[in-house]
Structure 1
Amino acid sequence: MYAVQPFYPGRKTSTKSYNTLGQLQYLSWLESTREWILFWSQPRQECEVYAYCGAFSSCNQNAVPFCECLRGFQPLSDRNWNAGDKSGGWSRRVLLQCGKDSQVSGQKDRFVRISKVRLPVNPIVLQVSPGVCESACLSNCSCSAYAYGDDGCSIWIEDLLNMQQLKSNDPNGRDLYLKLASSEFQGEDLLLFDPATSIGAATHKRSEDSKSRRTGRNKEVDLPLFSIASVSAATDNFSDANKLGEGGFGPVYKGKILKGHEVAVKRLSRKSGQGLEELQNEALL
């Protein structure tokens, strides 16, 4: 990168520069974290613009749309989202347990791993062990996520900004652990799924369904529910390397569970008009 304006340590300033891709960039020095923050570039890469996708979202330069809501969050304004404005940010679907008596309710906040990302800006760095790092975030009501690596423990307070989803083979990808309410983890663990037991149950179910059709009684398909965390883990966070193809419903990924079996995971596309009913019909057939 070649700066066209000098930087003097200790002085708040901004600079214009050209990166190795030939982009003209406008950066501002953030003294609190001692790093340059990109505010503008030309030609512009959307994911490089500060807070382009708003808080609690990830930006993927290789996807359309670029912005994707993090698990457990929803748009603050559906109207703005549908109009193409992603910068408004997101809010939690379920409030964190923090501040309540979790020992009485039996519910505690938990973390979900988000892999291969460029970490959000403005972390607080702590020189502690991985276990203490997780506990530090869990016990802090304002902590939204943490990460641990060679540079130590990083935690984020309140909003997560400028997180970017990278390609599965990107060596700069890091793991971020996002704090969510325990109710966001409801469902079976796909990694522990036993296909042999499932096939036996499905055969019995088809026999019962056949009897029901002969007697004029219809039954809905009984589908097991798996937690999104376990589905994500089985497919390596829906990595491109595991993508098998794409149809009208959405992309299909190969997943691997602990018993060594491989499964196909269909992920509903935002552009698709299909949903649970169509998926049930496919499962039944």
Structure 2
Amino acid sequence: MNTTKRPTIATVAEHAGLSVATVDRVLNARAPVNPATAEKVFQAAEAVGYFAARLIGQRIRECRPSYRFGILLLGTAQAFYGNVAAAISEAAQRQAGVNLNLQFEYVIDRTPSAIIAQIEQLAVQCDGLAVVSFAHPLIQASIAQIKAAGVPVIALLSDIYEAADEPYVGQDNHEVGRTMGWLMAHTCGARKGSVGVLLGGHRFLGHQARVEGLRSYLAERAPGLRPLEAVINLDNNDITEEATLDLLARHDDLRGLCVVGGGGDGIISALSQLPKQPSLCCILQESTELSRKALAQGLISLVIDSQP
């Protein structure tokens, strides 16, 4: 004979440290309850095995405000942006007070008109946007109109306006660049030589800030290491591979390579096909399966993990 007592509302209330009346209000939606209190009741109901725990969870979800957020990421550097998307999704699931639905879109066509079309489409469908984009007058004008219409827009990973007056989520990119300079100066094993720099594009203000930070540190602390004119790689691995081989062919004194955005796996592809490994300090921005393997093999020197 099973003598285990079935959990009741009183059991839930005792476990939650609340009154039976409060638990009853949550269960039967008799009156408004503070979201934190309702969540406490739900956690207690699950913990004691109360039969209506699922119903309580449903009641809580029904009472929460719901929002749809549009997230526009780049279609290149798929491993990195996959990690970014996963991190945003996990953060959304942790928000107990609201129901958040995320709509991810990816920029494949980098022409301003195509990006504007994607941003405007998301603005029609969503309550707020987070956008990875380069700076361009037409894109800025479109975002200004969307914000004026009441849809918040956050710049993600790279500022979109020169004045950086819009909300921004990401790293201090100038400091990332200076950190790369410090790492280059302390790990390349040479006091003189040239340093190759690859970036997604000059209009990406975050990339530009990293290049400026790198240059400023080397000029101040390691003037013998001379950054070359930055090469645009569109965050593309194939372009980065070709650019790496070209830089090695044209600069006998090449001592370092820095990728300030995506496409770093292209350096690994280039170096892995050389019969003899050059003495290079290579700094990448993406922690991927390939880059971690390359670190273990000694093909590259450092990976800065952005920890999305």
TM-score between both structures, scaled by the size of structure 2: 0.23
Kindly name which structure, 1 or 2, has the bigger radius of gyration based on alpha carbons. Answer: 2
In proportion to residue count, which structure has more helix? 2
In proportion to residue count, which structure has more strand? 1
TM-score between both structures, scaled by the size of structure 1: 0.24
